[in-house]
Protein backbone atom coordinates (compact mmCIF):
# COMPACT_ATOMS: atom_id res chain seq x y z
CA UNK A 1 0.00 0.00 0.00
CA UNK A 2 1.43 3.41 -0.95
CA UNK A 3 0.80 6.85 -2.43
CA UNK A 4 3.21 7.98 -5.14
CA UNK A 5 3.83 11.59 -6.08
CA UNK A 6 5.64 11.67 -9.42
CA UNK A 7 7.01 15.10 -10.29
CA UNK A 8 3.87 16.88 -9.10
CA UNK A 9 3.91 20.66 -9.38
CA UNK A 10 1.27 23.19 -8.31
CA UNK A 11 1.69 26.76 -9.54
CA UNK A 12 -0.11 29.82 -8.19
CA UNK A 13 1.38 32.99 -9.60
CA UNK A 14 4.88 33.37 -8.17
CA UNK A 15 4.34 30.54 -5.72
CA UNK A 16 4.90 26.88 -6.55
CA UNK A 17 5.17 23.51 -4.86
CA UNK A 18 7.13 20.54 -6.16
CA UNK A 19 6.56 17.14 -4.59
CA UNK A 20 8.08 13.82 -5.51
CA UNK A 21 8.13 10.77 -3.28
CA UNK A 22 6.44 7.63 -2.05
CA UNK A 23 4.36 7.45 1.13
CA UNK A 24 4.31 3.86 2.35
CA UNK A 25 2.22 2.33 5.09
CA UNK A 26 2.81 3.99 8.47
CA UNK A 27 2.61 7.43 10.02
CA UNK A 28 4.22 10.31 8.12
CA UNK A 29 4.85 13.77 9.52
CA UNK A 30 5.00 16.68 7.06
CA UNK A 31 6.37 19.99 8.37
CA UNK A 32 7.01 23.38 6.81
CA UNK A 33 6.62 27.10 7.34
CA UNK A 34 3.27 28.88 7.09
CA UNK A 35 2.40 29.21 3.41
CA UNK A 36 4.90 26.58 2.35
CA UNK A 37 2.19 24.42 0.79
CA UNK A 38 1.25 21.88 3.43
CA UNK A 39 -2.51 22.28 2.97
CA UNK A 40 -2.07 22.26 -0.82
CA UNK A 41 -0.16 18.99 -0.61
CA UNK A 42 -2.77 17.57 1.79
CA UNK A 43 -5.59 18.40 -0.65
CA UNK A 44 -3.58 16.91 -3.50
CA UNK A 45 -2.97 13.65 -1.63
CA UNK A 46 -6.67 13.45 -0.79
CA UNK A 47 -7.54 13.80 -4.48
CA UNK A 48 -9.29 17.17 -4.02
CA UNK A 49 -6.72 19.17 -5.96
CA UNK A 50 -5.08 18.19 -9.21
CA UNK A 51 -1.44 19.14 -9.80
CA UNK A 52 -0.59 21.31 -12.80
CA UNK A 53 2.00 18.76 -13.86
CA UNK A 54 3.00 15.32 -12.67
CA UNK A 55 0.83 12.53 -11.36
CA UNK A 56 -0.41 11.09 -8.08
CA UNK A 57 -0.83 7.35 -8.05
CA UNK A 58 -1.56 4.82 -5.39
CA UNK A 59 -1.42 1.16 -4.76
CA UNK A 60 -4.17 -0.71 -2.87
CA UNK A 61 -5.80 2.46 -1.51
CA UNK A 62 -9.52 1.66 -1.41
CA UNK A 63 -10.67 4.37 0.98
CA UNK A 64 -9.32 7.74 1.98
CA UNK A 65 -10.31 10.78 4.01
CA UNK A 66 -8.95 14.21 4.83
CA UNK A 67 -9.42 16.36 7.92
CA UNK A 68 -9.32 20.05 7.01
CA UNK A 69 -7.35 22.52 9.08
CA UNK A 70 -10.53 24.51 9.78
CA UNK A 71 -13.23 22.11 11.02
CA UNK A 72 -16.13 24.40 10.06
CA UNK A 73 -15.48 23.55 6.39
CA UNK A 74 -16.60 19.98 7.12
CA UNK A 75 -19.97 21.07 8.44
CA UNK A 76 -23.02 20.30 6.33
CA UNK A 77 -25.62 19.47 9.01
CA UNK A 78 -28.06 21.85 10.73
CA UNK A 79 -27.45 20.32 14.16
CA UNK A 80 -24.93 17.94 15.71
CA UNK A 81 -27.11 14.87 15.22
CA UNK A 82 -27.60 15.67 11.51
CA UNK A 83 -23.90 16.38 11.18
CA UNK A 84 -23.03 12.92 12.56
CA UNK A 85 -25.59 11.31 10.25
CA UNK A 86 -24.06 13.15 7.27
CA UNK A 87 -20.99 11.02 7.96
CA UNK A 88 -23.25 7.93 8.18
CA UNK A 89 -22.41 7.59 11.85
CA UNK A 90 -24.51 7.09 14.98
CA UNK A 91 -24.87 10.51 16.70
CA UNK A 92 -25.01 8.97 20.20
CA UNK A 93 -21.68 7.18 19.76
CA UNK A 94 -19.88 10.10 18.09
CA UNK A 95 -21.14 12.83 20.41
CA UNK A 96 -20.15 10.73 23.40
CA UNK A 97 -16.65 10.22 21.94
CA UNK A 98 -16.35 13.95 21.27
CA UNK A 99 -17.48 14.92 24.78
CA UNK A 100 -20.66 16.49 23.39
CA UNK A 101 -23.26 14.01 24.63
CA UNK A 102 -26.73 15.49 25.09
CA UNK A 103 -26.17 18.31 22.61
CA UNK A 104 -27.78 16.64 19.60
CA UNK A 105 -29.93 19.68 18.79
CA UNK A 106 -27.09 22.23 19.05
CA UNK A 107 -26.02 23.92 15.81
CA UNK A 108 -22.44 22.97 14.88
CA UNK A 109 -21.78 26.66 14.24
CA UNK A 110 -22.53 27.41 17.90
CA UNK A 111 -19.66 25.21 19.06
CA UNK A 112 -16.24 26.62 19.84
CA UNK A 113 -13.58 25.75 17.28
CA UNK A 114 -12.03 23.29 19.76
CA UNK A 115 -15.35 21.48 20.21
CA UNK A 116 -15.91 21.47 16.47
CA UNK A 117 -12.46 20.04 15.90
CA UNK A 118 -13.17 17.27 18.42
CA UNK A 119 -16.45 16.49 16.67
CA UNK A 120 -14.93 16.35 13.17
CA UNK A 121 -11.94 14.28 14.30
CA UNK A 122 -14.29 11.89 16.12
CA UNK A 123 -16.30 11.46 12.91
CA UNK A 124 -13.18 10.90 10.82
CA UNK A 125 -11.46 8.55 13.25
CA UNK A 126 -14.62 6.48 13.77
CA UNK A 127 -13.85 4.57 10.58
CA UNK A 128 -10.79 2.81 9.23
CA UNK A 129 -9.36 4.35 6.06
CA UNK A 130 -6.45 3.15 3.96
CA UNK A 131 -5.26 6.74 3.60
CA UNK A 132 -5.85 9.22 6.41
CA UNK A 133 -4.71 12.80 5.68
CA UNK A 134 -4.78 15.16 8.66
CA UNK A 135 -4.19 18.86 8.04
CA UNK A 136 -3.20 20.55 11.33
CA UNK A 137 -5.09 18.00 13.47
CA UNK A 138 -3.73 19.41 16.75
CA UNK A 139 -4.76 23.02 16.22
CA UNK A 140 -7.54 24.25 18.59
CA UNK A 141 -7.12 21.20 20.84
CA UNK A 142 -6.02 21.33 24.47
CA UNK A 143 -3.17 19.16 25.78
CA UNK A 144 -5.54 16.44 26.99
CA UNK A 145 -7.14 16.14 23.55
CA UNK A 146 -3.76 16.27 21.81
CA UNK A 147 -2.55 13.38 23.95
CA UNK A 148 -5.75 11.43 23.23
CA UNK A 149 -5.39 12.03 19.49
CA UNK A 150 -1.74 10.91 19.56
CA UNK A 151 -2.79 7.76 21.37
CA UNK A 152 -5.52 6.98 18.80
CA UNK A 153 -3.17 7.62 15.86
CA UNK A 154 -0.38 5.53 17.36
CA UNK A 155 -2.82 2.64 17.67
CA UNK A 156 -3.60 2.65 13.94
CA UNK A 157 -2.11 -0.64 12.80
CA UNK A 158 -2.81 -0.46 9.08
CA UNK A 159 -2.93 2.13 6.35
CA UNK A 160 -1.13 5.35 5.63
CA UNK A 161 -1.49 8.32 7.96
CA UNK A 162 -0.09 11.66 6.82
CA UNK A 163 -0.01 14.45 9.42
CA UNK A 164 0.59 18.02 8.24
CA UNK A 165 1.36 20.13 11.29
CA UNK A 166 3.19 22.94 13.07
CA UNK A 167 2.81 21.14 16.38
CA UNK A 168 5.95 21.26 18.50
CA UNK A 169 5.05 19.23 21.59
CA UNK A 170 2.66 16.39 20.85
CA UNK A 171 3.26 13.69 18.26
CA UNK A 172 2.23 10.06 17.85
CA UNK A 173 4.98 7.57 17.04
CA UNK A 174 6.16 8.70 13.59
CA UNK A 175 7.63 6.45 10.91
CA UNK A 176 8.91 9.07 8.47
CA UNK A 177 9.49 12.82 8.43
CA UNK A 178 9.03 15.10 5.43
CA UNK A 179 9.63 18.83 5.15
CA UNK A 180 8.56 21.43 2.64
CA UNK A 181 11.31 23.93 2.08
CA UNK A 182 11.46 26.66 -0.54
CA UNK A 183 8.65 25.09 -2.50
CA UNK A 184 10.07 21.57 -2.53
CA UNK A 185 9.01 18.50 -0.52
CA UNK A 186 12.05 16.81 1.08
CA UNK A 187 12.14 13.30 2.51
CA UNK A 188 14.11 13.45 5.80
CA UNK A 189 13.89 9.67 6.22
CA UNK A 190 12.77 7.35 8.98
CA UNK A 191 13.24 7.83 12.70
CA UNK A 192 15.46 8.08 14.65
CA UNK A 193 17.97 9.11 11.92
CA UNK A 194 15.60 11.75 10.54
CA UNK A 195 16.08 13.96 13.63
CA UNK A 196 19.55 14.91 12.36
CA UNK A 197 18.11 16.29 9.11
CA UNK A 198 14.86 17.70 10.52
CA UNK A 199 15.13 21.49 10.15
CA UNK A 200 11.71 22.28 11.69
CA UNK A 201 12.38 20.01 14.65
CA UNK A 202 10.94 21.16 18.00
CA UNK A 203 13.41 22.85 20.37
CA UNK A 204 13.43 19.86 22.70
CA UNK A 205 14.44 17.52 19.88
CA UNK A 206 17.23 19.88 18.78
CA UNK A 207 18.44 20.15 22.40
CA UNK A 208 18.45 16.39 22.80
CA UNK A 209 20.34 15.92 19.53
CA UNK A 210 22.81 18.63 20.65
CA UNK A 211 23.44 16.72 23.87
CA UNK A 212 23.89 13.46 22.02
CA UNK A 213 20.74 11.92 23.53
CA UNK A 214 18.91 10.76 20.42
CA UNK A 215 15.24 9.96 21.04
CA UNK A 216 14.01 6.70 19.53
CA UNK A 217 10.96 8.55 18.25
CA UNK A 218 9.16 11.85 18.83
CA UNK A 219 6.18 10.68 20.87
CA UNK A 220 5.85 12.17 24.36
CA UNK A 221 7.06 8.93 25.96
CA UNK A 222 10.11 8.69 23.67
CA UNK A 223 11.10 12.30 24.31
CA UNK A 224 10.72 11.87 28.09
CA UNK A 225 12.85 8.74 27.94
CA UNK A 226 15.58 10.64 26.10
CA UNK A 227 15.38 13.54 28.58
CA UNK A 228 15.80 11.09 31.47
CA UNK A 229 19.08 9.93 29.95
CA UNK A 230 20.63 13.40 30.41
CA UNK B 1 -7.48 48.33 -17.30
CA UNK B 2 -5.11 49.65 -14.61
CA UNK B 3 -6.74 52.91 -13.52
CA UNK B 4 -9.47 52.16 -10.99
CA UNK B 5 -11.14 55.55 -11.65
CA UNK B 6 -11.62 54.77 -15.33
CA UNK B 7 -12.48 51.15 -14.61
CA UNK B 8 -15.21 52.05 -12.13
CA UNK B 9 -16.53 54.79 -14.40
CA UNK B 10 -16.61 52.38 -17.35
CA UNK B 11 -18.36 49.72 -15.27
CA UNK B 12 -21.00 52.24 -14.16
CA UNK B 13 -21.55 53.55 -17.69
CA UNK B 14 -21.57 50.10 -19.30
CA UNK B 15 -24.02 48.76 -16.71
CA UNK B 16 -26.40 51.62 -17.49
CA UNK B 17 -25.89 51.08 -21.23
CA UNK B 18 -26.61 47.36 -20.92
CA UNK B 19 -29.70 47.97 -18.82
CA UNK B 20 -31.02 50.70 -21.13
CA UNK B 21 -31.59 48.61 -24.27
CA UNK B 22 -30.82 45.37 -26.07
CA UNK B 23 -28.53 47.11 -28.64
CA UNK B 24 -26.75 48.63 -25.63
CA UNK B 25 -26.36 45.18 -24.04
CA UNK B 26 -24.96 43.78 -27.30
CA UNK B 27 -22.56 46.73 -27.62
CA UNK B 28 -21.45 46.20 -24.01
CA UNK B 29 -20.82 42.50 -24.72
CA UNK B 30 -18.66 43.45 -27.71
CA UNK B 31 -16.77 45.94 -25.51
CA UNK B 32 -16.29 43.18 -22.92
CA UNK B 33 -14.82 40.78 -25.51
CA UNK B 34 -12.41 43.42 -26.85
CA UNK B 35 -11.27 45.20 -23.69
CA UNK B 36 -11.94 42.89 -20.74
CA UNK B 37 -9.72 40.13 -22.21
CA UNK B 38 -11.98 37.37 -20.86
CA UNK B 39 -9.64 34.57 -21.94
CA UNK B 40 -7.38 35.50 -19.00
CA UNK B 41 -10.11 34.63 -16.50
CA UNK B 42 -11.66 31.54 -18.07
CA UNK B 43 -11.51 29.53 -14.84
CA UNK B 44 -13.17 32.22 -12.75
CA UNK B 45 -15.83 32.70 -15.41
CA UNK B 46 -17.21 29.32 -14.38
CA UNK B 47 -18.38 31.05 -11.21
CA UNK B 48 -20.84 32.98 -13.38
CA UNK B 49 -22.78 29.88 -14.34
CA UNK B 50 -25.20 29.97 -11.34
CA UNK B 51 -25.91 33.70 -11.90
CA UNK B 52 -26.47 33.16 -15.63
CA UNK B 53 -28.77 30.21 -14.90
CA UNK B 54 -30.76 32.33 -12.45
CA UNK B 55 -31.17 35.13 -15.00
CA UNK B 56 -32.09 32.62 -17.71
CA UNK B 57 -34.72 31.09 -15.42
CA UNK B 58 -36.38 34.43 -14.69
CA UNK B 59 -36.05 35.42 -18.38
CA UNK B 60 -37.93 32.28 -19.45
CA UNK B 61 -40.62 32.83 -16.81
CA UNK B 62 -41.00 36.45 -17.91
CA UNK B 63 -41.17 35.51 -21.61
CA UNK B 64 -44.00 33.05 -21.02
CA UNK B 65 -45.96 35.22 -18.60
CA UNK B 66 -45.81 38.79 -19.81
CA UNK B 67 -43.19 38.91 -22.58
CA UNK B 68 -39.87 40.73 -22.65
CA UNK B 69 -37.95 37.82 -21.13
CA UNK B 70 -35.39 37.66 -23.94
CA UNK B 71 -34.67 41.36 -23.62
CA UNK B 72 -34.33 40.99 -19.83
CA UNK B 73 -32.02 37.98 -20.22
CA UNK B 74 -29.73 39.68 -22.76
CA UNK B 75 -29.46 42.90 -20.72
CA UNK B 76 -28.84 41.15 -17.40
CA UNK B 77 -26.29 38.83 -19.00
CA UNK B 78 -24.28 41.86 -20.20
CA UNK B 79 -24.44 43.38 -16.69
CA UNK B 80 -23.19 40.10 -15.19
CA UNK B 81 -20.24 40.15 -17.62
CA UNK B 82 -19.32 43.68 -16.51
CA UNK B 83 -19.65 42.70 -12.84
CA UNK B 84 -17.37 39.71 -13.41
CA UNK B 85 -14.88 41.91 -15.23
CA UNK B 86 -14.61 44.49 -12.44
CA UNK B 87 -14.32 41.72 -9.84
CA UNK B 88 -11.53 39.97 -11.74
CA UNK B 89 -9.60 43.18 -12.41
CA UNK B 90 -9.78 44.33 -8.78
CA UNK B 91 -6.49 44.63 -6.87
CA UNK B 92 -6.45 45.07 -3.05
CA UNK B 93 -6.38 48.74 -1.98
CA UNK B 94 -7.85 50.15 -5.18
CA UNK B 95 -11.24 51.11 -3.76
CA UNK B 96 -9.57 52.82 -0.81
CA UNK B 97 -7.57 54.92 -3.30
CA UNK B 98 -10.67 55.63 -5.35
CA UNK B 99 -12.77 56.65 -2.34
CA UNK B 100 -10.06 58.92 -0.95
CA UNK B 101 -9.52 60.53 -4.36
CA UNK B 102 -13.24 61.00 -4.90
CA UNK B 103 -14.53 62.11 -1.49
CA UNK B 104 -11.50 62.87 0.66
CA UNK B 105 -9.96 61.42 3.79
CA UNK B 106 -13.10 61.22 5.90
CA UNK B 107 -16.17 60.07 3.96
CA UNK B 108 -14.14 58.82 0.99
CA UNK B 109 -11.74 56.86 3.17
CA UNK B 110 -14.59 55.21 5.07
CA UNK B 111 -16.53 54.34 1.92
CA UNK B 112 -13.36 53.04 0.27
CA UNK B 113 -12.61 50.90 3.29
CA UNK B 114 -16.14 49.48 3.32
CA UNK B 115 -15.73 48.56 -0.36
CA UNK B 116 -12.33 46.99 0.38
CA UNK B 117 -13.64 44.86 3.24
CA UNK B 118 -16.62 43.87 1.08
CA UNK B 119 -14.33 42.69 -1.73
CA UNK B 120 -12.10 40.89 0.74
CA UNK B 121 -15.12 39.19 2.22
CA UNK B 122 -16.31 38.15 -1.24
CA UNK B 123 -12.89 36.66 -1.98
CA UNK B 124 -12.96 34.69 1.24
CA UNK B 125 -16.50 33.48 0.57
CA UNK B 126 -15.41 32.16 -2.82
CA UNK B 127 -12.56 30.35 -1.10
CA UNK B 128 -14.92 29.05 1.63
CA UNK B 129 -17.35 27.79 -1.00
CA UNK B 130 -14.53 25.75 -2.55
CA UNK B 131 -13.85 24.09 0.81
CA UNK B 132 -17.54 23.46 1.49
CA UNK B 133 -17.84 21.84 -1.92
CA UNK B 134 -14.88 19.62 -1.02
CA UNK B 135 -16.64 18.64 2.24
CA UNK B 136 -19.66 17.47 0.23
CA UNK B 137 -17.37 15.56 -2.13
CA UNK B 138 -15.86 13.79 0.89
CA UNK B 139 -19.24 12.93 2.41
CA UNK B 140 -21.58 12.36 -0.52
CA UNK B 141 -19.48 12.47 -3.66
CA UNK B 142 -20.88 15.76 -4.97
CA UNK B 143 -22.63 18.99 -4.04
CA UNK B 144 -26.22 19.15 -5.28
CA UNK B 145 -28.96 21.79 -5.34
CA UNK B 146 -30.39 20.72 -1.98
CA UNK B 147 -27.02 21.50 -0.35
CA UNK B 148 -27.15 25.18 -1.36
CA UNK B 149 -29.13 26.32 1.70
CA UNK B 150 -26.88 24.75 4.38
CA UNK B 151 -23.80 25.85 2.38
CA UNK B 152 -25.15 29.41 2.23
CA UNK B 153 -25.79 29.34 5.98
CA UNK B 154 -22.15 28.39 6.63
CA UNK B 155 -20.90 31.05 4.19
CA UNK B 156 -22.96 33.82 5.80
CA UNK B 157 -22.05 32.69 9.30
CA UNK B 158 -18.34 32.77 8.39
CA UNK B 159 -18.63 36.21 6.75
CA UNK B 160 -20.45 37.66 9.79
CA UNK B 161 -17.93 36.17 12.20
CA UNK B 162 -15.02 37.64 10.22
CA UNK B 163 -16.74 41.03 10.02
CA UNK B 164 -17.24 40.96 13.78
CA UNK B 165 -13.58 40.09 14.36
CA UNK B 166 -12.42 42.84 11.99
CA UNK B 167 -14.65 45.42 13.71
CA UNK B 168 -13.33 44.43 17.13
CA UNK B 169 -9.74 44.55 15.91
CA UNK B 170 -10.23 48.03 14.44
CA UNK B 171 -11.90 49.26 17.63
CA UNK B 172 -9.03 47.88 19.71
CA UNK B 173 -6.59 49.73 17.47
CA UNK B 174 -8.47 52.97 18.11
CA UNK B 175 -10.26 53.43 14.79
CA UNK B 176 -13.03 56.03 15.03
CA UNK B 177 -13.57 56.97 11.37
CA UNK B 178 -11.63 58.47 8.48
CA UNK B 179 -7.95 58.12 7.76
CA UNK B 180 -5.23 59.43 5.52
CA UNK B 181 -4.67 58.01 2.08
CA UNK B 182 -2.32 59.12 -0.69
CA UNK B 183 -3.85 57.60 -3.81
CA UNK B 184 -1.58 56.97 -6.79
CA UNK B 185 -3.00 56.02 -10.18
CA UNK B 186 -1.43 54.78 -13.40
CA UNK B 187 -3.32 55.64 -16.59
CA UNK B 188 -1.92 53.95 -19.73
CA UNK B 189 -3.18 54.93 -23.20
CA UNK B 190 -5.00 51.59 -23.50
CA UNK B 191 -7.19 52.58 -20.52
CA UNK B 192 -8.18 55.83 -22.21
CA UNK B 193 -9.03 54.01 -25.46
CA UNK B 194 -11.19 51.52 -23.53
CA UNK B 195 -12.92 54.37 -21.67
CA UNK B 196 -13.66 56.24 -24.93
CA UNK B 197 -15.02 53.00 -26.39
CA UNK B 198 -17.24 52.59 -23.31
CA UNK B 199 -18.65 56.08 -23.85
CA UNK B 200 -19.41 55.12 -27.48
CA UNK B 201 -21.25 52.01 -26.24
CA UNK B 202 -23.23 54.25 -23.91
CA UNK B 203 -24.24 56.44 -26.86
CA UNK B 204 -25.25 53.38 -28.90
CA UNK B 205 -27.46 52.30 -26.00
CA UNK B 206 -29.50 55.52 -25.89
CA UNK B 207 -29.41 56.74 -29.52
CA UNK B 208 -31.48 54.67 -31.99
CA UNK B 209 -29.19 52.61 -34.23
CA UNK B 210 -30.91 54.00 -37.36
CA UNK B 211 -29.57 57.45 -36.51
CA UNK B 212 -26.06 56.20 -37.31
CA UNK B 213 -26.91 55.29 -40.88
CA UNK B 214 -27.56 58.31 -43.05
CA UNK B 215 -28.58 56.12 -46.02
CA UNK B 216 -31.44 54.74 -43.95
CA UNK B 217 -33.16 58.12 -44.16
Statement to judge: residues B5 and B78 lie in one domain:
yes
Statement to judge: residues B69 and B110 lie in one domain:
no
Q: What DSSP element (H or E) covers A25?
A: none
| A46 vs B contacts (CB less than 8 Å) | 138
Q: Give chain A's domain count.
A: 1
Q: How far apart (Å, rounded) are the C-alpha atoms in residues A229 and A107?
A: 49
Tell me how far CA of residue B32 lies from CA of B84, B86, B163, in angstroms: 10, 11, 33
pLDDT at res. B30: 93
Classify residue A110: in a domain, yes or no.
no
Q: How far apart (Å, rounded) are the C-alpha atoms in residues B81 and A37?
A: 33
Q: How far apart (Å, rounded) are the C-alpha atoms in residues B66 and A176?
A: 68
Complex ipTM: 0.70
Statement to judge: residues B169 and B113 lie in one domain:
yes
Statement to judge: residues B198 and B169 lie in one domain:
no
Classify residue A46: in a domain, yes or no.
yes
Q: How far apart (Å, rounded) are the C-alpha atoms in residues A67 and A40?
A: 13
Q: Range of B114's domain?
A: 91-186
A-B contacts (CB, under 8 Å) = 38
| A86 vs B contacts (CB less than 8 Å) | 139-140
Classify residue A102: in a domain, yes or no.
no
Statement to judge: residues B103 and B153 lie in one domain:
yes
Q: How far apart (Å, rounded) are the C-alpha atoms in residues A78 and B137?
A: 18
Statement to judge: residues B106 and B180 lie in one domain:
yes
Statement to judge: residues B114 and B198 lie in one domain:
no
What integer is the mean pLDDT of A156-173?
90
Q: How do residues B102-120 score in pLDDT, each as one tens digit?
A: 999 999 999 999 999 998 8
Q: How do residues A108-154 score in pLDDT, each as one tens digit?
A: 888 998 999 999 999 999 988 999 999 999 988 999 999 999 999 98
Count Cα neighbours of B63 within 13 Å in the Cβ-side half-sphere.
12
Q: Give chain B's domain count.
A: 2
Statement to judge: residues B97 and B85 lie in one domain:
no
Classify residue A219: in a domain, yes or no.
yes
Residue B6 has pLDDT above 90, yes or no: yes
Statement to judge: residues B213 and B147 lie in one domain:
no
Statement to judge: residues B18 and B80 lie in one domain:
yes
Q: Range of A218's domain?
A: 2-63+133-139+164-228
Q: How do residues B142-180 score in pLDDT, each as one tens digit?
A: 777 777 777 888 888 888 888 898 899 999 999 888 888
Chain B positions with Cβ closer than 8 Å to A: 128, 131-132, 134-140, 147, 150-151, 153-154, 157-158
Question: CB under 8 Å to B124, separation ≥6 — which residues?
Answer: B158, B159, B162
Statement to judge: residues B66 and B130 lie in one domain:
no
pLDDT at res. B75: 93
- Taking each helix axis as running N to C, give the angle between helix B109-140 and helix B148-172, from 0 to 180 degrees, rounded to the nearest 10: 140
Amino acid sequence: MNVRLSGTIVNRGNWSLFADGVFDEGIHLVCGDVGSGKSTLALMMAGLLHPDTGTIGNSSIRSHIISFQFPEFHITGQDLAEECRSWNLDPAVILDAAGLAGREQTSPLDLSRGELKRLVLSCILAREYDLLVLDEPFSSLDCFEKARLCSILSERRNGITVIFTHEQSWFPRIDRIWEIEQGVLHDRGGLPDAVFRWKHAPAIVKDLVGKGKIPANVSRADLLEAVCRI
Amino acid sequence: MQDIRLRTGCAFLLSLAAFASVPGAIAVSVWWIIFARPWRHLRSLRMLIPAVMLVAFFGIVLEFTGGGGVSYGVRMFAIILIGAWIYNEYRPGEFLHLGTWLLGNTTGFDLGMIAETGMQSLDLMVSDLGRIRQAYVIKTGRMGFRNFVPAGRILIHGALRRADETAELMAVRGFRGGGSGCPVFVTPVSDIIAAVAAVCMGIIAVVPVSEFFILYH
